[in-house]
């Protein structure tokens, strides 16, 4: 006789209480339904299956089910099985009347109708059909060992494809053996923070405008983050020599976030010269390097010196942040240290997602998607610029030659009031001061407007709300 009992229906965790089996089972099921552990509509195992699991007679379970149906705790219908019954919803008191002892809470803040926050791509344009095709091909051809724990560097299929793509599209010197796959840029930065701390680095310079989540991660790793000034030519990399304790610098050279300017060639050279002379490292955040519109592509800084630059890229802007896929191209001497740090925290990212992305890139679907999104974002940007020229001609727009956001310069002292006016229009938008390092002096008032996020149906409304809020 085979162990066919092992395939009976669904599992149900029940702790029998009391001395009687039937009453103990009924009490346990009542309690599970009363507390919500078993939600209304949950289908219970058949009486035969549950009896086998609990090691009791089938009639005992059937009798318990029948009595709980009679009490209203369960329902039983032909062909639908036995399910947890829907419980009555307590009646609400009349409007304005609160039960004794209940204090009226403040009304919840109204959720914005529109958002022009920077940093998020158009999620509605994720290439679902092409991604699904790539996933099917990847799953069909995946070797059996891909379902094991895997290499902490990441799947060799993805690392090989990325090496070719990054060399071709971003000018990166990339060998598969020097690429580490991680679960997003933040994960990669956490690993680098850990490695730098082990190397006795005490300070990592950061741009005076950027994301506090990145600065905080470095601080949590035990690193200080002095601010490197930013102007219309990008980071003032000539100031690195004056920061004596700095062992590394975190930068966005292709498209500084949030000011939107590329790092000037002289300053790129100065950064590399500093790294060579001091033995420091440059952490290059190439967060949206694929998206440029009115300029020639700006290659990755890493190409100037692969042994002094850690190149960090991600699929979060080109595809979607929910994929949690990013990559680091490392100097050769760092590969073992980063792999060790990653292995002790997170052995490997999802193998199936890595294989799917590898297939997506190798098939040409990634290039097609990026080109399509480049056109889409350029149209959005052009519509934003036209709307501002017509309705707010005194507002200067910058940082629009590339990326997914624009910077709108405001009259001095008006940033806070414009953000509040936008909120009254149902629009969420951020000021540039939101991204200023705590040690950096105040700069110009401006809005950082992300034009990728709104759905097509909400884009016109978001633009209208923005223009009404501007002075």
16-30: per-residue pLDDT in tens? 766 678 888 888 898
Mean pLDDT for 351-377 is: 95
Q: How confident is the model at residue 93 (pLDDT cuts 50, 70, 90)?
A: very low
313 and 459 in one domain?
A: no
Domain containing residue 388: CATH number: 3.90.1150.10
> How far is 333 from 75, CA to CA, in rounded Å?
66
Mean pLDDT for 398-415 is: 94
Mean pLDDT for 271-279 is: 96
> How far is 12 from 46, CA to CA, in rounded Å?
10
Domain containing residue 60: CATH number: 1.10.10.10
Asked if the peptide bond before residue 258 counts as cis, ω within 30 degrees of 0, the response is: yes
> Strands 326-329, 234-235: parallel, antiparallel or unpaired by DSSP?
unpaired
157 and 33 in one domain?
A: no
Could you tell me if residue 109 is inside a domain? Answer: no
42-86: per-residue pLDDT in tens? 988 988 888 888 888 999 999 989 899 888 899 988 777 899 998
Mean pLDDT for 281-290 is: 91
Beta bridge mates, 450:
405
455 and 415 in one domain?
A: yes
pLDDT exceeds cutoff 50 at 91: no
> How far is 83 from 65, CA to CA, in rounded Å?
10
Could you tell me if residue 225 is inside a domain? Answer: yes
372 and 360 in one domain?
A: no
Q: What is the pLDDT of residue 4?
A: 46
Tokens coding 64: 């318990």
Q: Who's near 296: CB < 8 A, 6+ residues apart?
A: none
| Between 423 and 346, the higher pLDDT residue | 423
Could you tell me if residue 102 is inside a domain? Answer: no
Which among 393, 382, 464 is positioned nearest to 427, based on CA atoms?
464
Q: What is the pLDDT of residue 96?
A: 52
130 and 14 in one domain?
A: no
Token pair 């000021």 in the structure block, residue:
431
264 and 199 in one domain?
A: yes
411, 436 Cβ separation under 8 angstroms: no
201-213: per-residue pLDDT in tens? 999 999 999 999 9
140-149: per-residue pLDDT in tens? 999 999 988 8
Secondary structure of residue 327 in the 3-state scheme: strand
Could you tell me if residue 89 is inside a domain? Answer: no
Could you tell me if residue 101 is inside a domain? Answer: no
Question: Please, what is the average pLDDT of the chain?
Answer: 89
CA 446 to the chain's CA centroid? 25
State the CB neighbour count (10 A cutoff) for residue 470: 18
444-453: per-residue pLDDT in tens? 999 999 999 8
346 and 269 in one domain?
A: yes
> How far is 211 from 181, CA to CA, in rounded Å?
22
Domain containing residue 184: CATH number: 3.40.640.10
Which of 287-291, 342-346, 441-445 is the least confident region? 342-346
| Phi, psi of 297, rounded to the nearest 5 degrees | -55, 135
Q: How confident is the model at residue 107 (pLDDT cuts 50, 70, 90)?
A: very low
Whole domain around residue 62: which residue ranges? 9-84
**Domain end marker among 364, 383, 408:** 364
360 and 286 in one domain?
A: yes
Total domains in the fold of the chain: 3
Tokens coding 204: 């990592």
> How far is 175 from 438, CA to CA, in rounded Å?
38
Residue 9 to residues 22, 51, 69, 294, 324, Cα–Cα distance (Å): 21, 12, 20, 61, 35
249, 201 Cβ separation under 8 angstroms: no
Q: What is the pLDDT of residue 37?
A: 86
The model's pTM: 0.83
236 and 318 in one domain?
A: yes
Could you tell me if residue 90 is inside a domain? Answer: no
Mean pLDDT for 263-282 is: 96
Secondary structure of residue 407 in the 3-state scheme: strand
318-339: per-residue pLDDT in tens? 999 999 999 999 999 999 999 9
Q: What is the pLDDT of residue 264?
A: 95
Mean pLDDT for 215-239 is: 96
Mean pLDDT for 162-166 is: 96
298 and 206 in one domain?
A: yes
151 and 183 in one domain?
A: yes
Segment holding 181, helix H or strand E: strand 179-182
354, 155 Cβ separation under 8 angstroms: yes
Tokens coding 77: 């219908």
Q: What is the pLDDT of residue 347?
A: 62
168 and 143 in one domain?
A: yes
112-133: per-residue pLDDT in tens? 899 999 988 999 999 999 999 9
**DSSP single-letter state for residue 288:** T
């Amino acid at each position: 006789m085979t162990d066919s009992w092992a395939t009976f229906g669904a599992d149900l965790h029940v702790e029998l209480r009391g001395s009687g089996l039937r009453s103990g089972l009924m009490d346990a099921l009542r309690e599970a339904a009363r507390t919500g552990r078993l939600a209304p509509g949950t289908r219970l195992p058949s009486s035969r299956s549950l009896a086998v699991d609990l090691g009791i007679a089938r009639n005992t379970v059937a009798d318990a089910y029948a009595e709980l149906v009679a009490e209203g705790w369960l329902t039983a219908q032909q062909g639908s099985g036995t399910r947890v019954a829907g419980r009555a919803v307590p009646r609400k008191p009349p409007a304005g009347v609160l039960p004794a002892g209940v204090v009226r809470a403040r009304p919840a803040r109204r959720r914005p109708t529109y958002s022009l926050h920077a940093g998020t791509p158009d999620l509605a344009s994720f290439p679902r059909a092409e991604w699904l095709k790539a996933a099917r091909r990847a799953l069909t051809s995946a070797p059996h060992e891909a379902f094991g724990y895997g290499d902490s560097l990441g799947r060799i299929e993805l690392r090989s494809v990325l090496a070719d793509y990054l060399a071709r599209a971003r000018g990166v010197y990339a060998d598969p053996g020097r690429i580490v796959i991680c679960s997003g840029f933040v994960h990669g930065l956490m690993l680098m923070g850990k490695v730098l701390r082990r190397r006795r680095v005490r300070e990592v310079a950061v741009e005076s405008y950027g994301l506090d989540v990145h600065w905080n991660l470095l601080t949590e790793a035990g690193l200080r983050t002095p601010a490197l000034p930013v102007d219309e030519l990008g980071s003032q990399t000539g100031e690195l020599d004056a920061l004596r304790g700095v062992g590394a610098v975190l930068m966005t050279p292709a498209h500084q976030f949030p000011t939107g300017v590329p790092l000037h060639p002289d300053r790129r050279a100065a950064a590399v010269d500093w790294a060579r002379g001091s033995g420091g490292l440059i952490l290059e955040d190439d967060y949206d390097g694929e998206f440029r519109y009115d300029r020639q592509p700006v290659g990755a800084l890493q190409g100037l010196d692969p042994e002094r630059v850690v190149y960090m890229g991600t699929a979060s802007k080109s595809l979607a942040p929910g994929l949690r896929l990013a990559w680091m191209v490392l100097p050769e001497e760092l590969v073992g240290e980063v792999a060790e740090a990653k292995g002790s925290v997170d052995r490997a990212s999802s193998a199936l997602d890595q294989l799917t992305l590898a297939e997506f890139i190798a098939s040409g679907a990634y290039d097609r998607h990026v080109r399509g999104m480049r056109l889409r974002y350029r149209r959005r940007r052009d519509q934003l610029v036209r709307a501002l020229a017509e309705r707010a001609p005194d507002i200067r727009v910058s940082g629009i030659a590339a990326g997914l956001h624009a910077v709108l310069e405001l009259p001095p002292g008006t940033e806070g009031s414009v953000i509040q006016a936008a909120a009254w229009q149902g629009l969420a938008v951020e000021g540039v001061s939101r991204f200023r390092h705590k040690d950096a002096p105040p700069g110009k008032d401006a809005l950082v407007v992300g034009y990728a996020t709104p759905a097509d149906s909400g884009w016109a409304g978001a633009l209208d709300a923005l223009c009404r809020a501007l002075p």
